[in-house]
């Protein structure tokens, strides 16, 4: 039951993260490190997959960090995965605990005895009184003893089925651990992408500051020669300071996103590093829904784990039904007994026993009903997970197509907005208009750039989510970034 509860908890967490990731596309562009861009609280006490066990100490060198390096570190140090490994270890212990009921139980001992017996105290006074001169106290005397005992269960179907159930639960825990690896890859990939987006916003903000500075210098020159009004200079100055303020916010957001990434993969927070990978874009035709679903049902470790847990519940039900069957046990004992270690002789005893349960207060019936209910729940979870996997795949495919279309439109908007800004600057330089048109054009460029960054992040996140939905996150993400 504890294993099933853990499994349900892992599944709930996986679905929670997936839903959070799905909502990232509609979140505010400058969401900050407080959410990490994946729609879940950035607090490892609430979500262990956003925390880690840091290793090493910070060095003065700036560490180059690719997304593949980040995934490798996350798979080693992420807190959620480390806790999952502890669950596997606990499951192994439960298998050995159940298996011990089928294995021989052997024990031994070594003892030295010294005794004195009062026969009157033991109730032999009247008997001894018939034999005058027979002593009432025997001893002191001593003897030495070495003995070994063994007990072996010969027939115990209840224990056998419990052992099989524990083994299937261990298989489920191992598969669940593999699913947690996929989940860590998903979280690390999304966090790395969010950091890339923040870095792009810093670059964009820097370019906008340079453009605003050029416009301000242009307004100063035109004002100096009397070719423009004072309001144009004030408007240009306000625009420049607004862009400087946005650059400060973008830099702060990027620094916080890097801290969030370091927490996820176990880097010391004081370690400086640079992101060596950029956000790629490769317009690829995704597989059909049927092909993706077939791949998901074959590859998803959480689905295979749920099926293994059903098999464990089936063995548990058989174990409960076998509680009323007889058991056969063999016991043996051998020892060496004598006055001294050098003067011992062998003793032994052996027995076989048949234990027939006659009345257990309907315990076997109650355990069978509990096992039947647990089996039904596990089967229902498999059916629900099958439907959830289909939804994950369909959602990811829809998001991928939508994000690809948004990237194309956003890229075109950036080009058009930049052309409009160039023409507005030329018109202002020629005195054909004031710089209000230029400021508005610059705002349009900033909006277009932000839209492009957001859509590109959404596209790559959709690629990551599709890889996760089909059970191919770890290998698929590495291959996608390998040639970029």
Q: Identify the helix (H) or strand (E) that includes residue 60.
A: none
Q: Secondary structure of the chain: what % helix, strand, coil (to 5)?
A: 65, 15, 20
- Averaged pLDDT, 62-67: 92
pTM: 0.74
**What are the E-state strand segments in 316-382?**
327-338, 345-355
- Asked if 164 contacts 216 with a C-beta cutoff of 8 angstroms, the reply is no
Q: Report whether pLDDT(33) > 50.
A: no
Confidence of residue 198 (pLDDT cuts 50, 70, 90): very high
Q: Are 444 and 453 in contact (CB under 8 A)?
A: no
Count: domains in the chain = 1
For 88-105, b where at least 16 C-beta lie within 10 A, e where not — what string?
beebeebbeebbeeeeee
Task: With respect to residue 123, please indicate whether it lies within any of the assigned structural domains.
Answer: no
- In this prediction, residue 390 has a pLDDT band, given cuts at 50, 70 and 90, of very high
Whether 309 is covered by a domain: the verdict is yes
Residue 77 domain-assigned?
yes
**Could you tell me which residues come within 8 angstroms of residue 11 by beta carbon, excluding any fewer than 6 positions away?**
302, 306, 381, 385
Q: How far apart are CA 380 and CA 386, in angstroms?
A: 10
- The answer to whether the CB of 105 falls within 8 A of the CB of 150 is yes
The beta-strand segments (E) located in 339-483 are 345-355
Which residues pair with residue 333 across a beta bridge? 149, 349
3-state SS assignment for residue 350: strand
The percentage of the chain sitting over the pLDDT mark of 70, rounded to a whole number, equals 87
Residues 473 and 464: beta-carbon distance below 8 Å? yes
71-105 pLDDT, tens digit each: 999 999 999 888 888 889 998 898 988 888 889 98
Residue 240's CATH number: 1.20.1600.10
Tell me whether residue 215 is in a domain.
yes
Say if 118 falls within a structural domain.
no
> 423: domain range?
2-103+169-320+372-482
In this structure, the chain runs to a length of 484
The three-state secondary structure class of 108 is strand
Q: Which residues contact 279 (CB under 8 A, 6 or more apart)?
A: 193, 196, 197, 200, 456, 457, 460
334, part of any domain = no
Q: Residue 157 CA to chain centroid, in angstroms? A: 36
Average confidence (pLDDT) over 185-195: 92
Residue 31: CA atoms inside 13 Å, Cβ hemisphere, count?
25
Of 12, 83, 62, 55, which is closest to residue 263 (Cα–Cα)?
A: 55
Q: What is the token pair recorded at 158? A: 């209840």
pLDDT of 132 reads 76
pLDDT band at 45 (very low <50, low <70, confident <90, very high): low
User: Is 341 inside a domain boundary?
Assistant: no
- Residue 328's φ and ψ, nearest 5 degrees, are -120, 130
Provide the total of helices (H) and of strands (E) in the chain, helices listed first: 11, 6
43 pLDDT tier (thresholds 50, 70, 90): low
**Does residue 426 sit within a domain?**
yes
Four-point Cα dihedral 302, 304, 308, 309, nearest 10: 30
């Amino acid at each position: 039951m504890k294993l099933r509860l853990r499994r349900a908890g892992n599944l709930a967490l996986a679905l929670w993260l997936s839903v959070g990731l799905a909502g990232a596309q509609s979140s505010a562009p400058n969401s900050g490190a407080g959410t990490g861009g994946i729609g879940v609280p950035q607090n490892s006490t609430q979500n262990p997959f956003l925390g880690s066990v840091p290793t090493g100490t910070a060095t003065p060198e700036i560490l180059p960090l690719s997304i593949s390096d980040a995934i490798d570190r996350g798979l080693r140090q992420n807190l959620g995965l480390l806790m999952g490994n502890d669950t596997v270890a606990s499951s192994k212990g439960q298998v050995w605990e159940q298996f011990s009921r089928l294995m021989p139980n052997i024990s031994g001992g070594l003892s030295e005895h010294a005794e004195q017996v009062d026969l009157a105290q033991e109730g032999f006074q009247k008997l001894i009184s018939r034999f005058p001169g027979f002593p009432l106290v025997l001893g002191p005397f001593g003897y030495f003893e070495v003995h070994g005992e063994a007990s072996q269960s010969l027939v115990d179907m209840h224990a056998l089925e419990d052992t099989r159930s524990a083994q299937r639960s261990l298989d489920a825990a191992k598969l669940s651990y593999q699913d947690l690896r996929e989940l860590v890859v998903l979280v690390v990939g999304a966090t790395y992408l969010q950091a890339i987006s923040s870095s792009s916003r810093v670059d964009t903000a820097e370019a906008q500051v340079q453009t605003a500075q050029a416009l301000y210098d242009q307004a100063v020159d035109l004002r100096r020669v009397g070719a423009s009004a004072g309001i144009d200079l004030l408007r240009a100055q306000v625009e420049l300071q607004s862009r400087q303020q946005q650059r400060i916010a973008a830099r702060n957001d990027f620094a916080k996103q890097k801290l969030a990434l370091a927490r996820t993969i176990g880097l010391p927070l004081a370690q400086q590093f640079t992101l060596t990978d950029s956000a790629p874009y490769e317009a690829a035709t995704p597989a059909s829904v049927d092909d993706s679903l077939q791949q998901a049902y074959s590859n998803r470790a959480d689905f295979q784990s749920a099926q293994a847990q059903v098999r464990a519940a089936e063995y548990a039900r058989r174990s409960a039904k076998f509680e009323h069957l007889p058991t056969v046990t063999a016991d043996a004992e051998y020892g060496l007994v004598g006055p001294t270690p050098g003067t011992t002789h062998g003793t032994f005893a052996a027995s076989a026993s048949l234990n027939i349960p006659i009345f257990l207060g309907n315990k076997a019936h109650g355990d069978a009903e509990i096992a039947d209910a647990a089996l039904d729940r596990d089967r229902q979870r498999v059916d629900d997970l099958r439907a959830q996997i289909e939804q994950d795949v369909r959602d990811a495919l829809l998001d991928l197509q939508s994000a690809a279309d948004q990237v194309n439109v956003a890229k075109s908007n950036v080009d058009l907005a930049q052309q409009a800004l160039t023409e507005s600057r030329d018109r202002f330089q020629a005195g054909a208009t004031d710089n209000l048109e230029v400021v508005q054009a610059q705002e349009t460029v900033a909006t277009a750039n932000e839209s492009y960054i957001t859509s590109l992040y959404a596209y790559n996140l959709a690629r990551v989510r599709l890889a996760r939905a089909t059970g191919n996150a770890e290998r698929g993400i590495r291959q996608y970034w390998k040639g970029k």
